[in-house]
Chain A
């Protein structure tokens, strides 16, 4: 799920409130060179941010359905597919819902408790190759993928927190 990519550019993350984070993104042609370049920028930007496991194109200000993800080495991850970039991802099955705490590069100071499926099947297309993939995953990779797909639908974790007291100040570890 990691095609040959050009060198990506680290781009500034868009922060909430920004209209692009609350609007549905549009489907892309996975073979479009601009889409491939965007995928490379997503991965480069994600890797430049400590603790960031995934990024969606709207977070770079681009309303396209492209995400990057890599949960390798994360303590909450069980199954992991390594670094990936995906175009037009669609959740086809989501089961075994559990509450967990998550943050977002676009909402830097807050975290929230959000119920997510811990078993997930997702279909997508690999930018650059056009390969159709189906990803079956669980635990933290499943959570991260749902968070990124939500971005493509104009949803933030703020729209899904579990209750009036499910929002927290992000802990700063010095």
Chain B
């Protein structure tokens, strides 16, 4: 690593088509950027990518280099410089909160508010709307001081208010 190395967060969002990842990463490789963590998915037909890359260029230079991606208006691309963060270390045990039920506004906010109030940290979350059915899955790190059974009771009570099923269980890591 050179002293000028910075961490850039690149987001690409837009209509899905084959080749978005190939095009984006080719342009980043051309800048000498090294991809670190990334997540890429298709959300209701929209391609969405967030990645962190180490690079010797500024965010403005990287955004200019990625400009061809957004030339036809189908993709929005942004690059921001962020301070380097140490990789997060889990606070304690990891739990999976599963929620499913009839879709309505406010499910994610109500459930995550209960988790936050307990001091739990959501490290990964995905939701799916399938017809009338809404499904929320959240991985939550709980500090050792938090009583998981109390959180489970609070989540179930919130689920009753929302009219959705909520359950929480410990995620074992299956280290082989």
Given contacts A17-B102, A22-B165, A158-B98, contact A163 B124 (CB under 8 A): yes
**Does B49 lie at the interface of the complex (its beta carbon under 8 Å from any beta carbon of A)?**
no
In the complex, which of the residues A109, A160, A161, A165 contacts B131, with contact meaning CB atoms closer than 8 Å?
A: A109
**Does B139 lie at the interface of the complex (its beta carbon under 8 Å from any beta carbon of A)?**
yes
**Does B133 lie at the interface of the complex (its beta carbon under 8 Å from any beta carbon of A)?**
yes
**What distance in Å separates the Cβ of A57 from its nearest Cβ neighbour in chain B?**
19
**Does A5 lie at the interface of the complex (its beta carbon under 8 Å from any beta carbon of B)?**
no
Set of chain B residues within 8 Å of A90, measured between Cβ atoms: none
Interface size class of A (residues with CB under 8 A): 20 to 34
**Does B110 lie at the interface of the complex (its beta carbon under 8 Å from any beta carbon of A)?**
no
1/0 per position for B125-137, CB-CB distance to A under 8 A?
Answer: 1101011111101
Number of interface residues of B (CB under 8 A): 22
Set of chain A residues within 8 Å of B131, measured between Cβ atoms: 15, 108-109
Given contacts A164-B124, A167-B126, A167-B128, contact A15 B165 (CB under 8 A): no
Chain B residues numbered 139-176 whose CB sits less than 8 Å from any CB in chain A? 139, 164-165, 167, 171
Set of chain B residues within 8 Å of A108, measured between Cβ atoms: 130-131
**What distance in Å separates the Cβ of A17 from its nearest Cβ neighbour in chain B?**
4
- Residue of B at shortest CB range from A106? B133
Set of chain A residues within 8 Å of B96, measured between Cβ atoms: 161-164
Given contacts A158-B135, A159-B167, A166-B137, contact A17 B124 (CB under 8 A): no
Set of chain B residues within 8 Å of A15, measured between Cβ atoms: 131-133
Give A17 to B101 CA distance when docked, in angstroms.
5
Give A17 to B98 CA distance when docked, in angstroms.
14
Chain B residues numbered 101-128 whose CB sits less than 8 Å from any CB in chain A? 101-102, 124-126, 128
- Residue of A at shortest CB range from B135? A158
Find the residue from A16, A108, A161, A163 having the highest chain B CB count within 10 A. A16
Set of chain B residues within 8 Å of A107, measured between Cβ atoms: 130, 133
**What distance in Å separates the Cβ of A66 from its nearest Cβ neighbour in chain B?**
22
**Does A42 lie at the interface of the complex (its beta carbon under 8 Å from any beta carbon of B)?**
no
Set of chain B residues within 8 Å of A169, measured between Cβ atoms: 128
1/0 per position for A138-174, CB-CB distance to B under 8 A?
Answer: 0000000000000000001011111111110100000
Given contacts A17-B102, A159-B98, contact A165 B126 (CB under 8 A): yes
Q: Are A164 and B138 within 8 A (Cβ)?
A: yes
Set of chain A residues within 8 Å of B138, measured between Cβ atoms: 164
- 10 A/B residue pairs, CB under 8 Å, sorted by A: A22-B101, A22-B165, A109-B130, A109-B131, A110-B130, A158-B135, A159-B167, A161-B98, A163-B96, A167-B135
Interface residues in chain A, defined as those with a beta carbon under 8 Å from any beta carbon in chain B: 15-17, 22, 107-110, 156, 158-167, 169
Q: Which are the 10 A-B pairs with shortest beta-carbon distances?
A: A164-B124, A109-B130, A17-B102, A164-B137, A158-B100, A17-B101, A164-B139, A164-B126, A16-B133, A22-B165
7 new A-B pairs (CB below 8 Å) besides A108-B130, A110-B135?
Answer: A107-B133, A156-B100, A162-B96, A164-B124, A164-B126, A167-B126, A169-B128
